[in-house]
Each structure stands twice: as C-alpha cells, then as structure tokens.
Amino acid sequence: MDNTLSSLQPQAIWKHFAEICKIPHPSGHLDKITEYIMQFGKSHGLDTYRDEAGNVIIRKPATPGMENRCPVILQGHMDMVPQANGNVKHNFKTDPILPRIDGEWVTAQETTLGADNGIGVSAILAVLESDELKHGPIEALFTYDEETGMYGAIGLKPGELQGKILLNTDSEQDGELYISCAGGIDVNVSFRYKEEPYTPQNEVAYKVILEGLHGGHSGVDIHLGRANANKEMFRFLKEVVSAHEARLAFYEGGTLRNAIPREAVAAVTIPVEEKEDFLKTVDIFADTLKHEYGYIEENLLFRAEEANLPLSLIPEPIQDDLINAVVACPNNVYRMIPESPEVVETSSNLAIVKTSGGAIDISILVRSSSESMKMALASSLESVFSLAGARVEFSGAYPGWEPNLESPVLKLMEEIYPKVLGRKPEVKMMHAGLECGIIGSAYPGLDMISFGPTIKHPHSPNEKVEIKTVADFWKLLVAVLENIPEKK
C-alpha cells in the first residue's frame, strides 16, 4: 500500500496538506506558512494581502453565472499546536511534520499532525485553486495565531471583509454542524521570591517524573476524565512534603495553555534517612495513579530517579503556599449546560506550572459558553491563588458564539447534507473555542457555521484525522458553495 498522502482522495485537499506538513508553522512562528499562502494566492492571480493582525485574505471572483450569489467567507487558522512525545527531539520551528497513513487514519510520527486546522486550510486552498467548482464571490480568511490567543481574529478590523456568510473549517467531528462555542479567558498566576541558597545537610535529591499521559485539547477532551499532569504531581508533592520533609527545588509541567498537560517533572531533596520510605511512597503513588486512571491512561509512567543536589531551593513558605494552591485549584469540568447536560458549559485547564530563577509562573485557561460563569470561575481561581500570596492577572478574554437556530446557512446545510452524504447531520454546541465568536462581534449579523472532518486527540501527539471523513467534508463544502442563495 502507498503510505504517502498522494494515494489519498480527494487529492485537491491532500496535496495541499502534504505541502503544509513540510512547512514549520507552530503558533508564534508563522512567517513561512504566511509566505506560502501569500505566494499561492498571487500565483493564481487572486487579490491577496496581509492585514495588520497578520491574517492573510485572498479574494476569488464568482464563477460565471454566480456573480449574484451571497458572498462567502471561508475561514481557517494557519498555526498548529506543537506537541511531541518526550522521547522525541523535534524542532517545530525548523523540522517538517512527518505524516503517515495508519489504516483508516492519517497521523504523524510522534508529534501533533496539524490536521487542526491544516485540513481546513487545505480545503480552502483547494477551492481557491479550482477552475471547475461553481461558487459565488469568495473571501478566504487565514487567521494568525489562533491556538495561543486568537490574536488574528481579535485583530481583524471591521470593514475588512464583505462576505455575509462565514464557513469555519475548524470543528472536528464528521456528521456534526456547530452553531455556537465557548468563550475563554486566561488566568495568569505568578509567585516571585528570592531563591534560598542550599547547603546540603545529609540529604539526597530526586527527579520525579510523570509522563505518558494522553493530554489533548482542553476544550474537546476536557470531559474525558484524563489525568492532568500538574494536578497529579502536586498531589504527590503535598504528600511527600508532609511525610518525608521534601523540599522543592524545581518544577516544570505542561507547555501550552489549551493543551491538557501530559508531562511534569519536579526536583526535590529529602533527608537521607527518608530515602527508602520516599521511594516506597513513589511506588505506592504510581500504583494509585494506575488504579485511578489505568483504563484511560494506559501508558502512564510515574517514577523517581536520583539526581544531583541543587544549588538552591524554593523558600519553604512559598513552596507550601504553591502546593496548597495548586492542589486546591479548580480543574477540569466545572459545570455542564443545564439545558443540554451532555455539553460542557464551563471548565478550567491548569495548563502550565514552571519555576525559573526566583519566579513561578502558572497558566490556566477558563472556557465557558456563559459569560457570567466564565468570570465566576476565573474569580474563584483568583481567590485561591491570591490567598496563597500570588499575583493574579486576567488576559486574552474572548467572547463565545451564541447559537442562532434560525440561521439561513444552517437551514441550507441541513437540507443539503442528506442529499450529498445520505444522512442527517446533528446540530451541536462546542465547548472548545472557535474564532466565530470574535469575528461575529466585529461583524454583527454575519451568518456563521462550523464543520469539518473527524480529528481525534488534537493538541497531542496522538492527533489523527479520519481519511474517509475528509472526502465527505470536501463533498459537503463543494455542495454548499454551489447552493449559496442569491443576495437579497
């Protein structure tokens, strides 16, 4: 079997995705992918430019006879989440993604694939390139740095776009049409202190490691009961500080605000006479985690290995306040939507905890489809860490997307879906953040919908996209563009 993307259909999408995989494009490092898309638009003779926020906008005229159709915005984001398994050395700023076919899926070799949102971007490029599709006027909007803060969507100015319908390509379940999403806010916590010089007094140091967790998207996967590496490591630290006089010298857990943390490392010292009991506690805690999470986290590993003694320690009062606050920190699903109890309304993700030279920085992402509940949970987190003496700031707030059950494009897609794919779609609300809410706030009245192929485990090295659903996604997109109604 040909194990390259060239063997897959529709080639109109897969050929572009293969090229995107070759181009490094993690969040914050989008110069190369931006240039690629800019050159693509210009090489096809299309009106192409970059706005002040870094978004790329490409306009394609209507095909003959379709000039009077309502103009459509096709939207996707250019960046991908950079995550690799701990044993893999992959520089996302310079190294290509290595996709491979695994049965009915496309995945990557030990890293995130970037199907989120590379498949959607590839579909938009395919529409722009085609001389055969029938469609009205099209504006392609490729947004900048969606994954780290939706900065491109936030920076999009009113009046930049003329389209009346927006098709977002960033949802991840075949058979579902999304008409709303959660908003979010970042809770940024910082402790500042003077490092305590360390003079060993018959002590030994250990590096404690938790790894092998699934992690995943903190919106899409937050309800699945997966372990959060930071929460579990601090649960352990509280125990060994109390039972074995452990002192914390260093900590690092999590890498991205919107990814459930998969790994954490802590460096601790203990009295030599506590060594044997400490190692027993490590083994017991490992067994506890496997008992609690074994069905979900089948690759979980928790261990301690002897290390060099550190040069300094976190002062004991700061250490204790930090541990108590993280253990008390609300994390995971906070509330389901009362009217739709199968959908998460409000959640928080204790994403990053990191110590460095007199500083401890913590990043938490709160999501909610309720603005009041979003701020209530953010306030609760602020209280927990303020009581521990930390500084707490909010940033990156973005609105949710309110559902519109009378949406004309929703009614169109509900009508077209069974004709094209032989089945009815489900209309859904999403807990993950989409740029629709932000774009909609700048363009009131914009008719929006989100759809896409099935992508499993986004924001983790287990990310994969189902091949057959990419073909269905393409059929649906083509049919919708062909049936967009005339301007009123």
**Does 174 lie in the same domain as 30?**
yes
d(CA 22, CA 10): 19
Q: Identify the pLDDT of residue 1.
A: 36
pLDDT in tens, 186-207: 999 999 999 888 988 899 999 9
* Last residue of one domain, picked from the residues 364, 380, 398: 398
Residues 194 and 322 both lie in one domain: yes
What whole-number distance in Å separates Cα of residue 327 and Cα of residue 119? 38
Asked whether residue 205 falls in the same domain as residue 128, the answer is no
Residues 412 and 456 reside in one and the same domain: yes
In this structure, are 14 and 109 located in the same domain?
Answer: yes
In a domain, 89, yes or no: yes
Q: How large is the average pLDDT for residues 37-45?
A: 98
The span from the CA of 429 to the CA of 410, in Å, is 13
| Cβ 181 vs Cβ 364: under 8 Å | no
State which of 398, 413, 437 marks the end of a domain. 398
pLDDT band for position 88 (cuts 50, 70, 90): confident
Q: What is the CATH number of the domain that holds 267?
A: 3.30.70.360
Structural domain span for residue 189: 185-398
Q: Residue 188, Cβ neighbours under 10 Å: how many? A: 18
Cis peptide bond prior to 261, omega within 30° of 0: no
Does residue 296 sit in the same domain as residue 311? yes
Domain boundary among the residues 398, 421, 456 is at 398
174, part of any domain: yes
Q: Does residue 428 sit in the same domain as residue 295?
A: no
* Residue that wins the pLDDT comparison between 1 and 266: 266
Structural domain contains residue 33: yes
SS3 20: helix
- The predicted-structure confidence for 121-161, as pLDDT tens digits, reads as follows 999 999 999 999 999 999 999 999 999 889 999 999 999 99
Q: Domain count for the chain, please give it.
A: 2
Q: What pLDDT does 3 receive?
A: 62
Domain membership of residue 224 (yes or no) is yes
List CB contacts of 147: < 8 A, sequence separation 6 or more: 27, 77, 79, 80, 81, 256, 258
pLDDT in tens, 104-127: 999 999 999 999 999 999 999 999
pLDDT value, residue 224: 95
CB 217 within 8 A of CB 224: no
Q: Report CA 73 to chain centroid distance, whole Å.
A: 23
Helix axes 371-387, 316-328, angle to 10 degrees: 150
Q: Report the C-alpha gap between 253 and 265 in whole angstroms.
A: 6
CA distances from 354 to 84, 126, 173, 359, 365 (A): 18, 42, 34, 8, 15
Q: Give yes or no: residues 125 and 174 share one domain.
A: yes
**pLDDT tens by residue, 310-329:** 999 999 999 999 999 999 99
In a domain, residue 488? The reply is no
The reply to whether 149 falls in a domain is: yes
Q: Are 290 and 341 in contact (CB under 8 A)?
A: no
Please, where are the H alpha helices in 101-196?
115-129, 146-149, 151-155
Q: Tell me: do 9 and 21 sit in the same domain.
A: yes
- Cβ atoms of 219 and 367 within 8 Å: the answer is yes
Same domain, 148 and 253: no
User: What pLDDT, on a 0 to 100 scale, did the predictor assign at position 478?
Assistant: 98
Q: What is the pLDDT of residue 432?
A: 87
In-domain check, residue 322: yes
Checking if the pLDDT of 347 tops 90, the result is yes
- 275: Cα separation from own chain's centroid: 40
Catalytic residue annotation? 79, 146
pTM for the complete prediction?
Answer: 0.85
Residue identified by tokens 């590496």 is 229
CATH number of domain containing 449: 3.40.630.10
The chain-wide mean pLDDT, for the chain, equals 96
Are 80 and 118 contacting, i.e. CB atoms less than 8 angstroms apart?
yes
Structure tokens at 463: 């990310």
| Residue partners of 354: CB distance under 8 A and separation at least 6 | 251, 252, 253, 254, 360, 361, 362
Please give the full DSSP string across 369-420, using - where no structure is assigned.
SSHHHHHHHHHHHHHHHHHTT-EEEEEEEE--B---TT-HHHHHHHHHHHHH
Same domain membership, residue 246 and residue 222: yes
- Is residue 487 situated within a structural domain? no
Is residue 378 domain-shared with residue 414, that is, in the same domain? no
